[in-house]
Structure 1
Amino acid sequence: MRPLHAMLVLSCLIGPLPLAGLSSQAVAGNGLIQCYDPARELVTRTRPDLCQGRAVSEAEAQRIRERRRDYVKESLTANVSPGVIGKRLIGAGTGFFVDRRGTLLTNAHVVKGCSLLTVSRPEASTQPAQLRDLDFSLDLALIDTELQPPRMATFAPAHQPMPDEITIAGYPGRSSTTLTPTLTTGAIPQGGTRASAARPLPLKANVQPGNSGGPVLDPAGRVIGVVFAAVDTKRVYQQTGQIVRHVGLAIPNAIALGFLKRNGIQPRIDDASPPADAPAPDLLEATQGYLARIECWL
């Protein structure tokens, strides 16, 4: 077996740059050098035979350290994940599992223009994901992951009348550091609107950035639509003079279920309405099992 010190010397000799020809600034009086490891973007002062990269001058070492410091600072302010080096987070939204194979349903605009998609859940590290299908005309998309969710979402039938009260589940806020879903209660302005209508479903709820792609739930916890927009209150005021607050839009099941069927997915559908005196389900506990945050990187 080759001695360890010989292997270290060989590693240094076959590195990008040999030590020969370095200025007196690169080799200090004590024989140590500034060693640049490009894989880690790191400069350390070490012995020449221990250098796992290339030797650089003091001036270049200082420039590399400043570059690394600026990158870390930018990462913290721009929400760049340490696990996605060289990528910038340009958006985030919500998705929910529609089968046991790890397929997520979300909005097309959540994944638009992404060079990389990642998915985050409480019980698993952030993992890359693959776009499976998207339809901008419907604003729906499917994402394949290697995650195995503990449960999948349950849908209400497309023909079932809409409830008066609803709950939105998702991850509002791009810079959120927690993966616990946030529940937002609301209502449907026109009670009794049927989900079979092939038009956006109005919501009286505080829809925020990050909620896009999340499920709209009835009191029994069944999905009745997919959040996709909040009304631009500033623009409405400029055009009409009316102040409109907390109004969102959702894609009804009549459209979402058709999109899933087109992709060969058979979601769980529960057509049994719970009794009026049935206890309310724990929606926070239920949604934690099938929600995920989707991150879009460029």
Structure 2
Amino acid sequence: MSGFFTHFQRLLSTLVSAVLLISTHANAATLVNCYDQKREMVTRTHPDNCQGQTVGDDEANAIRDRRRAYVQQSIDADKNPIIVGKRLMSIGAGFFVNTEGTLLTNAHVVKNCETLIVSRAGGELLPAHLIAIEPKIDLALIGTDFHPKQSAVFAPPDAPLPTSVAIIGYPNQGLPPIRPLLTQGIIMPSKLELTSSTPSPISIQADVRPGNSGGPVLDEFGRVIGVIFAAVDTPAVYKNTGRIVRDIGIAIPNRFSLVFLERNAITPTISKKITTETSKQDRILDEAGLFVARVECWRTN
């Protein structure tokens, strides 16, 4: 009898293994590599649950390798600070307004910083110095030894605001980004009748995070229509009004930015929309990478 049970257990074990193998193969066959471009991540999921782009195994492995290298770079940067005796306090964005290396950013990004470091998408980084600051409008200019081939192009201050925009910056994704990221946004309907010359801030429905501050808001032609400087404080709004307001960013319109630049002897490039001009939506991030930079604020420990 014991021999019968032993034989039965072996048979049952073999059948279970076979069923598990078949089940595993069946599940694997129904899963796809889902690429979340915004977070630069690939997950295995059912096709119906994929909210991103389906990619092959080779591309998925390449993306995972890039992600691992990205995480390691961020960890190494934290472990090995480039400014001895000082600590990285915050990260913001800025963008070149000329090819002499002058960046426009927010005043609060550079406030009380003992050392400023500017890095570009290619990995180059250089110290920077404060040129001008106006806390009342939350704008600042910093100088670097970079000589970008391309600087930002502004829309005219009286240009109508677009419906949709692209926000370029370094939004916190759990780790400090080392490359600029694009966040899609929609101008709030109440603001569409305004122009970028309006004295009112521009409200944008978008996932604005720490690290976006100082970054440009671009229209479909890649022109700057504003500078991100804040996000709506959801808990505070709820406490004061009882309303839940999420994912609202606030930008400084060109009316203020262009006057600020003029006051500091900077002549930016301003481009009027031409009817024959084509949209740059598909390549906005690539082109913005030429003039957007990461701004680091360092202070003594």
Q: TM-score, normalised by structure 2?
A: 0.70
1:272 is aligned to 2:273? yes
What residue is the counterpart of 1:201 in the other structure?
A: 202
Between the aligned partners of 2:77 and 2:199, the Cα distance in structure 1 is 38
SS at the partner of 1:88? strand
Between the aligned partners of 1:170 and 1:274, the Cα distance in structure 2 is 29
Q: Name the CA shift for 1:150/1:81 in 2 (closer, same or farther; >3 Å).
A: farther
Q: Name the CA shift for 1:289/1:105 in 2 (closer, same or farther; >3 Å).
A: same
Q: Could you tell me how far 1:193 is from its partner in structure 2?
A: 1.8
Q: Name the CA shift for 1:238/1:256 in 2 (closer, same or farther; >3 Å).
A: same
8 A contact 1:221–1:281 mirrored in 2: no
What residue is the counterpart of 2:255 in the other structure?
A: 254
8 A contact 1:78–1:89 mirrored in 2: no
Output aligned runs, 1:1-298, within 5 Å. Answer: 79=78, 81-173=80-172, 176=175, 178-190=177-189, 191-275=192-276, 278=279, 280-298=281-299
Q: Could you tell me how far 1:123 is from its partner in structure 2?
A: 2.9
Between the aligned partners of 2:158 and 2:245, the Cα distance in structure 1 is 29
8 A contact 1:107–1:140 mirrored in 2: yes
Q: Deviations over 1:221-248 (max 9, x none)?
A: 1000000000000100111111101101
8 A contact 2:167–2:183 mirrored in 1: yes
Residues 266-275 or 147-156, more deviating: 266-275
8 A contact 1:79–1:88 mirrored in 2: no
SS at the partner of 2:109? coil
Counterpart of 2:126, as a letter, is: Q
Q: Could you tell me how far 1:174 is from its partner in structure 2?
A: 8.3
More helix by share: 2
Q: Name the CA shift for 1:195/1:209 in 2 (closer, same or farther; >3 Å).
A: same
Q: Deviations over 1:15-34 (max 9, x none)?
A: xxxxxxxxxxxxxxxxxxxx
RMSD: 2.1
SS at the partner of 2:259? helix
Between the aligned partners of 1:262 and 1:289, the Cα distance in structure 2 is 25
Counterpart of 2:144, as a letter, is: T
Between the aligned partners of 1:223 and 1:171, the Cα distance in structure 2 is 17
| Runs of 5+ consecutive residues of structure 2 not aligned to the other structure | 1-73
Q: Could you tell me how far 1:89 is from its partner in structure 2?
A: 1.0
What residue is the counterpart of 1:69 in the other structure?
A: none
Q: Deviations over 1:165-206 (max 9, x none)?
A: 111001112874553211011111122321111121111111
Q: Deviations over 1:246-273 (max 9, x none)?
A: 1010000000000000011110110124
SS at the partner of 1:79? helix
SS at the partner of 1:234? helix
Q: Deviations over 1:34-55 (max 9, x none)?
A: xxxxxxxxxxxxxxxxxxxxxx
Q: Could you tell me how far 1:127 is from its partner in structure 2?
A: 1.4
SS at the partner of 2:185? strand
Counterpart of 2:269, as a letter, is: R
Q: Deviations over 1:74-106 (max 9, x none)?
A: x96993653211101111100000001000000
Residues 269-278 or 106-115, more deviating: 269-278
Counterpart of 1:92, as a letter, is: I
What residue is the counterpart of 1:10 in the other structure?
A: none
| Runs of 5+ consecutive residues of structure 1 not aligned to the other structure | 1-74
Between the aligned partners of 2:252 and 2:149, the Cα distance in structure 1 is 25
Between the aligned partners of 2:79 and 2:115, the Cα distance in structure 1 is 13
8 A contact 2:220–2:279 mirrored in 1: no
- Equivalences, count: 224
Q: TM-score, normalised by structure 1?
A: 0.71
Q: Name the CA shift for 1:262/1:120 in 2 (closer, same or farther; >3 Å).
A: same
8 A contact 1:80–1:88 mirrored in 2: no
Residues 117-126 or 237-246, more deviating: 117-126
Between the aligned partners of 1:179 and 1:213, the Cα distance in structure 2 is 16
Q: Deviations over 1:100-149 (max 9, x none)?
A: 10000000000001011001113353211000000000100000000111
